Amino acid sequence: MKIAGRTCVAVAALGACVLAAPAGAIADSVKVGFIVTLTGGQAGLGETIQKATKLYMKLHANELPAGLTIEPIWRDDTGPNPDQAKRLAQDLIVRDHVQFLSGITWTPNAMAVGAFTKQAKMPTVMSGNGAPAVTRESPYVVKTSFTVWQACYPLGQWAAKNGIKAAYTAVTDYAGGHDAENAFIKGFTEGGGKILGSARIPFNTVDFLPFVQRIKDAKPPVVFVFAPGAAAATTYMKAFDDLGVKQAGIKIIGPGDITDDMELQNMGPAVLGVETALYYSAVAPQPATKAFVEAWHKEYGANDTPGFFSVNGWDAIAAIYGAVKALNGKMDPDKTMAYLSHWKNPDSPRGPLEIDPETRDVIHNVYMRRVEMVDGKLANVVFDTIPHVKDPWKEFNK
Amino acid sequence: MGDWSVLISIGLLGVAYGMVLYLISVGLSITMGLMGFVNLAHGVFAMAGGYVTVTLMNKYGVPFFAALAGAFVVAAVLGLVLERTLYARLYGTSDFDQVLFSIGLIFVSIAVVRHFWGPLTQPMRVPAYLKGVIPVLGRDFPSYRLFLIGFSIATIAVLWVTLEHSRFGAMIRAAVDNRRMAQSLGVNTSRLFAQTFALGSGLAGLGGGLGADILVIAPGYPIQYILYFMIVVILGGLGTIRGPFLAALLLGIADTACRYFWPEAGAVFIFILVFVILYFRPQGLLHRGRA
Amino acid sequence: MSALEHFSAPPRSLLARLLYGVRPWEALPWLAAIVAFFLFPGYVPIFGQILIMTLFALSLDIVVGYCGIVTLGHAAYYGTGAYTAGLLAVHGWSEPISNAAFAMAMAALVGFVTGAVILRAHGFITVMLTLAVTVTLYEVANHTGRWTGGDDGLRGIDMAPVLGRFEFDIYGDTAFFYALAALFLSFVVVRLLVNSPFGWSLKGIRENIGRMHAIGCPVYRRLLQAYTIAAALAGLAGALQAQTTQYVALRALSFDLSGDVLVMLIIGGIGRLYGAFIGVPVYILAQDRLASEDPANWYFWMGILLIVIVLFARGGMLALAARLWDRRRSDA
């Protein structure tokens, strides 16, 4: 009996030590809880938001008033895991007493956390997902990322206007993919285009070749492709290359996700000529973009190029800095949201960025880009700009 | 176009996929049949081979075939070391402990790989002389996949000949059939286990490198693909080398066909197929030795 | 307890039977839970999570530990409970206790139907069948997005306060005690079952199924009964999850989750009734602590922990404790 008792006490003591280990409180610090994907197949997305945040904080360290610091706390959602994301949000609020939530990758995670922030009255700057409906879940959500419609709908319109009469769509089978498909089809058919067929590819596909073979067999002049995040896009593009889709005369278009600057160099010359629409390009001519990319190369090396997720993270922490400075560290939730809803940054790496006070979602330019060789490296060269694009989905679904 | 050429295309793609699955899984079949060890971490060795191949080629400019040889050697050595230090201690323990151990090993390997190579997929740059498409019966077929089929068949032929006609192979078959008897006849089963484990891991590494195109090299590899390897082994029947061959071909072709004709079905179709086969042949297609 | 003690006439009254063989230290887990609630208020949400997973792991122990059936698809019943509870709530049935009871019944039904098929098989087919059930249910939920939300998950679950008074808030207090009560009641039932003739026949089936057939035990029927009960409890855990998190994701029906809960159980020890109570907190707290310290690399330390447990605590932590206890007894 005694040893059982002693063992129990020992275990309890150990448990108490584990639980009581202090989180490390810093005087007068504003805590920001980031929920991003740091493990699993899409860990690149979370990692680059982390890098962008750290870089911004390093470069802007002197901007905060004396005695005030911002402390980021990082949590891993391991992928599209809405209940896990919600629990992490709950822990961050109840245990770590954060004053902001940020990140939130994947639409399902965003919807789960979004609804929760309403209950918890927690200002949330979402930088990780493109869900169009999430800002309606709660008045405490603002996005500095994008919505899938913002790129795909104008792309559809552009395609119809520029001589493309028919297209095939191939998207990954999940909410983001469905959004992309719907947005493109609406823009394209409104301009008179015809959809030849649609394929939806399961999220966890191992081998892309059978799908690409099917697309090739349909012989469309143009295929609209969407895949979430860098790694999926690379394998997709490789499959297209392996089957000689481009050589067969099929043109590939899609949102900029599929030629993500972060992964572009890995895709090889297979992607030359692919035309995409996105709110950012690492080689966009704006001075703010150039400065951003240069600072990134300096910190992370010449082979590391920031992609659109990096920009999302950057803009989010910039907005948080703005709010903290404006309110001097006293982050009353409603005042914070009032500030964030009117946030503007003309010098964002993506170009002029504005938060729409009506929807709390982003308004930014959308660039038409084509992959070309620039100085021996692949680059998304901008050849057209569609300025000041609001989220079309919200416009259509008022 | 015609439906025939579609079927041939699917068939060839499926066979290529199946060959890769076989190369990776045959080692698992033998070690599970021989040692009775539930090694869910087998994918780790395939992943190791994949990373070695890609790193040797991309970072050090090693030619393709030399990189594959490197993958085989590194994976085999890794297998040998782990077998002697960790696996050997766990022979004869309960299935559940073995499962727990395998999962722990998987976690560690994922973290290690992610730490050194980052979370992104490793790009596999197929050598130029293997790229492109070859027209087969009126359809363009990726040359690399054809190469895969050819190379795998050659490797498998060497493997089968070695195991059928060598003393080593005879010892394995004896030990699989009846370990105690083999021991009492003087077979050093401990050394046999180590050698077999090394061989199986080496083959897995080779398969991982060869198949980096299909089973992409990223940290989540062991978890993502273990189900496929297990299906090949279970369908094929433990402890044989021909059973998994049949099973891998079947799985490769079925999966490819399913993805072409019915992509939304996901994994359900595969499971139904597996269940149907197991219902009629509960011990696997070509079972031998311990159950 | 010597064999002689065990085979003397068992007490008849319900209360006496409930307390039969109950040792004082068995109150420890429950006391620990209540103490933890007051000592670590910031951890209450994760404690609630631990309680629910403990119930889930306990139900798995019935199948794996007491029936001796290896299942990689126990999440099928958890997920059924979760989605049933969630769907009911979304369509207006938001009273928690009746909601959970119905979800439990649904899970039991699914358990009964699938168990009838699964239990007829042996060896690998059983494992594959359990996997097939889970994968099929997963795909069904995935493709009926209109009702289940697909991979977006099921949202809009708004539960009414428990017993009309205790609301589910963001601090997780109500959720904690609600889950604790459910776990306690379920545990009482399981403990009764395990120490009853029914439970002993299960052990017999696990140890020597041929013998059990030979003495005329209705093996298949017993296994099916146990399997259905296990499915019901798993469904209850799922329902609790849906009600307290107010969200149901596809993961509730996944092979991943089945694997996770099996690992948690193995860590604690299979077939020892309390394995779930040790393994679940160890796994979840270790994961939480490791993931906070090093979000990118927590996998590494988790893996090391699992390997160390296998090498030094073979059979799970309870087995280790039993060995240490025996060794002390024999030394003394």
Q: Do A83 and C45 touch (CB under 8 A)?
A: no
Q: Which of A202, A206, A247 sits opposite B263 (nearest CB)?
A: A202
Quick one: pLDDT band at residue A315, thresholds 50, 70, 90?
very high
Judge if ipTM > 0.95.
no
Q: Do B101 and C310 touch (CB under 8 A)?
A: yes
Q: Do C310 and B90 touch (CB under 8 A)?
A: yes
Q: Is A386 helix (H, G, I), strand (E, B) or coil?
A: strand
CA distance B207 to B24: 5
Does the structure show a pLDDT above 80 at A98?
yes
Burial B242-262 (b: 16+ CB within 10 A, else e): bbbbbbbbbbbbbbbbbbbee
All residues of chain C having their beta carbon less than 8 Å from the beta carbon of residue A91 are: 42, 45-46, 288
Q: Do A76 and C295 touch (CB under 8 A)?
A: yes
pLDDT, one tens digit per residue, over B11-29 is 888 999 999 999 999 888 8
CA distance C72 to C65: 14
- What is the per-residue pLDDT for B164? 85
Same domain, A337 and A305: yes
The residue behind tokens 């679940």 is C280
pLDDT, one tens digit per residue, over B85-109 is 999 888 878 888 888 899 899 999 9
Quick one: pLDDT band at residue A267, thresholds 50, 70, 90?
confident
Q: Span A137-152, mean pLDDT?
A: 92
Same domain, A351 and A256: no
Q: Which of A7, A90, A108 sits opposite C151 (nearest CB)?
A: A108
Quote the minimal CA–CA distance from B278 to chain C in Å.
6
Same domain, A68 and A180: no
- What is the per-residue pLDDT for C304? 92
Q: Which of A16, A74, A108 sits opposite C153 (nearest CB)?
A: A108
CA distance C182 to C97: 10
Q: Do B110 and C299 touch (CB under 8 A)?
A: yes
Does the structure show a pLDDT above 80 at A81?
yes
pLDDT more than 90, % of chain A = 51
Q: Span A7-36, mean pLDDT?
A: 62
- What is the per-residue pLDDT for C48? 93
The residue with greater pLDDT, C3 or A301, is: A301
- What is the per-residue pLDDT for A92? 94
CA distance C278 to C68: 20
Could you tell me the mean pLDDT of each successive run of 10 residues in chain C, 332 residues long?
A: 56 68 82 91 92 96 89 94 94 90 96 90 78 87 83 82 84 91 94 87 86 88 94 97 90 89 91 91 91 81 90 85 83 64
Q: Do B265 and C139 touch (CB under 8 A)?
A: yes
pLDDT, one tens digit per residue, over B58-87 is 889 889 999 999 999 999 999 999 999 999
- What is the per-residue pLDDT for B48? 95
Task: Tell me whether residue A11 is in a domain.
Answer: no
User: What is each CA distance from C71 to C61, C134, C205, C279, in whole angstroms?
Assistant: 10, 10, 16, 18
Same domain, A90 and A194: no
Q: Is A178 helix (H, G, I), strand (E, B) or coil?
A: helix
- What is the per-residue pLDDT for B100? 86
**Is there a contact between A362 and A339 (Cβ–Cβ < 8 Å)?**
no
DSSP A105-149: -SHHHHHHHHHHHHHHT--EEE-S---SSGGGT-TTEEESS--HH
Where does B3-280 sit in CATH, by number? 1.10.3470
- What is the per-residue pLDDT for A26? 46
pLDDT, one tens digit per residue, over B135-163 is 877 677 888 888 999 999 999 899 889 88
Same domain, A162 and A237: yes
DSSP B193-226: HHHHHHHHHHHHHHHHHHGGGTS--STTHHHHHH
C46 close to A (CB below 8 A): yes
Q: Which of residues 89-128 of B touch C (CB under 8 A)?
A: 89-90, 93-97, 99-101, 103-112, 114-115
Task: Tell me whether residue A20 is in a domain.
Answer: no
Quick one: pLDDT band at residue A215, thresholds 50, 70, 90?
confident
Residue C166 DSSP symbol: B
pLDDT more than 70, % of chain B = 95
DSSP C179-206: HHHHHHHHHHHHHHHHTSHHHHHHHHHH
Task: Tell me whether residue A12 is in a domain.
Answer: no
- What is the per-residue pLDDT for B31? 84
All residues of chain A having their beta carbon less than 8 Å from the beta carbon of residue C153 are: 82-83, 108, 111-112
For C294, nearest residue in chain B (alpha carbons): B111
- What is the per-residue pLDDT for A16? 53
| Cross-strand pairs, A354 | A344, A363
- What is the per-residue pLDDT for B19? 93
User: What is each CA distance from B279 to A87, A387, B271, B274, C171, in whole angstroms?
Assistant: 42, 62, 12, 8, 50
- What is the per-residue pLDDT for A24? 43
Neighbours of B91 (CB within 10 A): 14
- What is the per-residue pLDDT for A11? 52
Task: Tell me whether residue A116 is in a domain.
Answer: yes
Same domain, A207 and A260: yes
Q: At what angle do helices B189-210 and B167-177 cross, to 10 degrees?
A: 110
Interface residues of chain A, partner chain B, Cβ below 8 Å? 38-44, 47, 173, 199-202, 204-207, 209-211, 213-214, 216-217, 230-231, 234-235, 238, 242-244, 247-248, 263, 266-268
Same domain, A175 and A102: no
Residue A27 DSSP symbol: T
Q: Do C172 and A96 touch (CB under 8 A)?
A: no
Sequence ranges of the domains in chain C: 27-254
Same domain, A229 and A168: yes
- What is the per-residue pLDDT for B74? 96
Average of per-residue pLDDT values in chain A: 87
- Which site among A37, A206, A211, A261 would you substitute to test the B interface, given the most B Cβ atoms closer than 10 Å to its Cβ? A206
- Residue A165's domain comprises 149-278+366-396
- In total, how many domains does chain A have? 2
All residues of chain C having their beta carbon less than 8 Å from the beta carbon of residue A47 are: 296
Looking at residue C73, its amino acid is G
pLDDT more than 70, % of chain A = 92
**Is there a contact between A2 and C324 (Cβ–Cβ < 8 Å)?**
no
- What is the per-residue pLDDT for A3? 45
Quick one: pLDDT band at residue A23, thresholds 50, 70, 90?
very low
All residues of chain A having their beta carbon less than 8 Å from the beta carbon of residue C151 are: 80, 108, 174-175, 203
User: For strand A377-389 and strand A362-374, is the pairing parallel, antiparallel, or unpaired?
Assistant: antiparallel
Residue A250 DSSP symbol: -
Same domain, A294 and A323: yes
- What is the per-residue pLDDT for B69? 94
Q: Which of A3, A21, A80 sits opposite C328 (nearest CB)?
A: A3
Q: Could you give the count of Cα atoms lying within 13 Å of C80 in the half-sphere of its Cβ?
A: 30
Q: Span A11-33, mean pLDDT?
A: 60
Q: Which of C128, C296, C300 sits opposite B108 (nearest CB)?
A: C300
Task: Tell me whether residue A19 is in a domain.
Answer: no
Q: Span A255-262, mean pLDDT?
A: 89
- What is the per-residue pLDDT for C7? 57
Same domain, A259 and A297: no
Sign for the pseudo-dihedral over CA of A384, A387, A391, A397: negative
Q: Do A199 and B125 touch (CB under 8 A)?
A: no
